[in-house]
Chains A and B, each alone.
Chain A
Amino acid sequence: MSARWDAVVVGAGFAGTLVAHQLGAQGWRVLVLEAGRAAPTGAQASAAHRAAGGGPPTSPYPHSPDAPSPDVTDLTGLPDGGFTATGHLGQYGPLPYASGYLRANGGTGLLWTGLAPRMHPEDFRTGDLGHGRNWPIGYHDLEPHYRAAERELGVAADAGEQRAAVGLPIPADYDFPMRAIPASFLDRQLADAFDGRTVRDPAVPDPARLAVTATPHARNGVPTRAASVHGRPAGGRSAEGPLTDGPLTEGPLCAGSAGCVPACPTGAKYTPLRTQARWAAGVELRTEAVVSRVLADPETGRAEGVEYLAGGRAHRVVADLVVLAAHAIENARLLLLSGLANRSDQVGRNLMDHPALLTWGLMPRPVGPYRGPGSTSGLEAFRFGPGRERRAPFRIEIGNWGWSWAGGAPEAEAATLLAAGLRGKELRERLGDRLGRQFSLQFELEQPADPANRVTLDPDRRDPLGLPAPAVRYDLSDYVREGMASARAVSDQLFALLGAEDHTAYPAAAWPGRLEHRGAVHGYRGAGHAGGTHLMGDSPATSVVDHWQRCWDHPNLYAVGCGSMPSLGTSNPSLTMAALALRSAGRMHRDLLELNRPAAVTPPAASTSRTPEPSPSEHS
């Protein structure tokens, strides 16, 4: 392969797909190398999952043996506590990193839930709050890119409610592309019991006021009236590169198939494949192409291209820009394999997730679980404010899918009652009564950046291609554990307000993610929100990438995705990842213009001064 590409993008998930789309739309020639295989349609994946009788969310997708990825079923709880792990990700404890991801075209974005809340302005300053790290940019720097991402993903939300209930500064003239997804019947029952009431978080002196609030979704709702004129950043801030000019609504309205994870069977949920369908002709995708190394000039630090393995051979690709978009853990692994970008010694460190504390029970009356999207509303009161100094903040998702995440899906309940000897009408009635009243609460906690939570290359394990496998050392700090204690105390009060039976229990064998804190046992699942492993900052001494997600040590090497995020806040991070990717794509476009300017010999370090940068004002 002798052709020179303008950019090579490693990974065809959320971030890589968006970057490739933006660069392709500007006329650049982009090669996308995806380690995994091509993905089936949502309808095919959903049918395969049902035909298999369920299975973990990655299971209906093709797995390339040469590009393994970890799965939640790799973890097993031990009867007396603790866990064992098998598979791609070496786990060296003390607690398990409890999330999986998928290496396939579309990445983990194929099987995401599709919740797309913005981060709160406070979330960008967690270091100032005494925990974790600050971002080098703030909410207002990202705001126009949030709007661009919401257009690209097709986000359904109510701007007024997001302003009032979440406190987001959203411009007054902005409408989300689509109206909010309707609240579930369960949400409405909880709103009747909660709204206007207060509960006490033991970490906070003042009571918290409850308000059930609709969650923004990247699934199709009813388009807003003036949506077609609201895609672009207002106020002359459109110099970041092209924004999507495709139709605002692709695919059908969400029809309530309730199968968003692992796959939306109708195509109402956004996945990166939707954007790929609009890639310009100059974007080429190669699947089953496993990048093993980034090549860089040892003198100048400039990235020259990548080496990848495919069809049993090694290949080299030369490009002006190299963009790593392979997932937080795989990006870090690739930088470590390449020996690049690690002047700060932060590559692979600061691994974060949203540990999700689940509580579950039975409502007094049937609520119709297993209908609609997995969660349509939440409680926002514990995400912000002074409590954040003492315990990790959390967002409460109201779970529409019964006890499925907790391990009590209908099939499991049926098996339990069958094993207890129930038969006939008694079985039917008992099961129907229990299943019809199931609900759960999902407390997604912020986990601050901690350099000790770390991805490294496993000295003892290699993948099928002979590349060192990733290994993880992971723990949850007292700050997170205090957040769990507050979450459980809040949960107890919420169950009391509902008159619900609490069935929460964390038997060790079923909960590999399990800990004891001040005498109480807490179980957590991983929300699949890996971040922090190449975090951005304002100094090359303490961070891996700058606020453009560009490696400090390599001016034409970008590492994009949640790995760049210095904090995750309490928001599902894909929307923020998308906004960052779109923002960085604007920077990449300007980089390529500089490189291709005739007769301009541009020293790498000077490239930022050429083009006026609309944001952030403190960092140009």
Chain B
Amino acid sequence: MSVSDERPADYDLAESWDPVAAAEADALADELPDEVADELADLDEFLRVSAELTGFDVPELRATGMADEHHRTALAHRVRDEHALVHLWYVGAWPGEAPSSARAHDQGLVWRTFRATPPGAAAPGHGSWAEAPRDGATRSGAALGGAPLGGAALGGEAR
């Protein structure tokens, strides 16, 4: 289900977000792009597909506070593939673009894979770096401990 970058630029790759439906969608791509795009216009479906691709479950994705913003970013791009979608969640930016906001950068999942925060985004406290890193499975916003700068900008999404 990997998607080649060599496909025509107007080819809507939205269907390949859903690995379960990928084979079927591949076959039906020519007939169904509008319907698939409609599905992904739905936030819940966007999150379901994102969870599958990122390895972070839907509550974890929601806890970043980025669900709406990333959804908007994705919908703003006519050509979407799974690489771009994972990149958006992990790095906070569509490939080749700057992050949609400082918050998008700060909430990049890449940092949560090892329970860290991006440089400059948090203030976990004097000497906190002397402590052993927390291990075990990373859950939701736990990696953003301490006293985040910018208050709500780094807090979980209230939804």
Contacts and interface: CB of A to CB of B under 8 A. Distances in A.
Interface string B132-159: 1101001000000011011000000000
Nearest to A45: B120
A50 B126 contact: no
Contacts of B122: 257
B108 A182 contact: no
A265 B149 contact: yes
A411 B126 contact: no
Contacts of A188: 130
B86 interface: yes
Interface in B110-126: 110-111, 113-126
Contacts, number: 171
A256 B120 contact: no
B18 interface: no
Main secondary structure of the interface of B (DSSP, over half): loop
Contact of A436 (B82, B102, B133): B133
A43 interface: yes
Given A257-B149, A418-B83, A424-B54, A366 B135 contact: yes
A24 interface: no
A372 B135 contact: no
A525 B117 CA distance: 25
Interface stretch (A127-135, A381-389, A427-435, A467-475): A427-435
Nearest to A265: B120
Contact of A257 (B98, B105, B113, B119): B119
Interface residues of A, number: 57
Nearest to A366: B133
A368 B114 CA distance: 8
A412 to B, nearest CB: 10
A256 B128 contact: yes
B110 A431 contact: yes
A556 interface: no
A372 B87 contact: no
Nearest to A424: B55
A415 interface: yes
Interface in A225-256: 253-256
A27 to B, nearest CB: 38
Nearest to B134: A368
B53 A423 contact: yes
Nearest to B124: A256
Contacts of A183: 130
Contacts of A43: 149
B102 A411 contact: no
A270 to B, nearest CB: 16
A53 B52 contact: no
B110 A435 contact: yes
A255 B148 CA distance: 10
Chain B CB count within 10 A is highest, among A222, A427, A436, for A427
B67 interface: no
Contact of B86 (A48, A366, A418, A435): A418
A264 to B, nearest CB: 8
A376 interface: yes
Given A182-B129, A184-B130, A258-B119, A436 B93 contact: no
Contacts of B120: 46-47, 49-50, 257-259, 263, 265
Given A254-B126, A410-B111, A50 B102 contact: yes
Given A366-B133, A436-B133, A50 B110 contact: no
A413 B113 CA distance: 12
B87 A415 contact: yes
A253 B129 CA distance: 13
B110 A421 contact: no
B15 interface: no
A335 B114 CA distance: 51
Interface in B77-100: 82-83, 86-87, 90-93, 98-99
A139 interface: no
Interface in A472-488: none
A50 B114 contact: no
B30 interface: no
Contacts of A263: 120
B105 A51 contact: yes
Contacts of B147: 255
Nearest to A425: B55
Contact of A265 (B92, B98, B123): B123
Given A53-B91, A410-B111, A371 B55 contact: no
B114 A401 contact: no
Given A50-B120, A263-B120, A372 B128 contact: yes
Given A254-B126, A257-B149, A367 B133 contact: yes
B12 interface: no
A113 to B, nearest CB: 12
Nearest to A266: B123
Contacts of A373: 129
Contact of A256 (B108, B114, B129): B129
Contacts of A266: 123, 149
A52 interface: yes
Interface in A358-410: 366-373, 376, 400-401, 410
Nearest to A404: B119
Given A50-B118, A188-B130, A428-B54, A423 B86 contact: yes
Contact of A50 (B83, B86, B106, B115): B106
Chain B CB count within 10 A is highest, among A51, A52, A372, for A51
Chain B CB count within 10 A is highest, among A182, A371, A431, for A371
A185 B55 contact: no
B131 interface: yes
B101 A51 contact: yes
Contacts of B46: none
B35 to A, nearest CB: 24
B129 A259 contact: no
Contacts of B8: none
B92 to A, nearest CB: 7
B126 A51 contact: no
A592 B53 CA distance: 70
Chain A CB count within 10 A is highest, among B2, B116, B117, for B116
11 contacts: A51-B102, A53-B99, A184-B130, A266-B123, A369-B116, A414-B91, A421-B2, A435-B116, A436-B113, A436-B115, A436-B133
> Nearest 3 pairs between A and B by C-beta?
A372-B129, A259-B120, A368-B133
Given A371-B124, A432-B114, 15 more contacts: A50-B119, A51-B102, A184-B130, A185-B129, A185-B130, A256-B127, A258-B119, A367-B133, A371-B129, A372-B129, A418-B90, A424-B53, A429-B113, A431-B90, A436-B114
Interface of B: 2, 19, 52-56, 82-83, 86-87, 90-93, 98-99, 101-102, 105-106, 108-111, 113-133, 135, 138, 146-147, 149-150
Interface of A: 43, 46-53, 182-185, 188, 221-222, 253-259, 263, 265-266, 366-373, 376, 400-401, 410-411, 413-415, 418-419, 421, 423-429, 431-433, 435-436
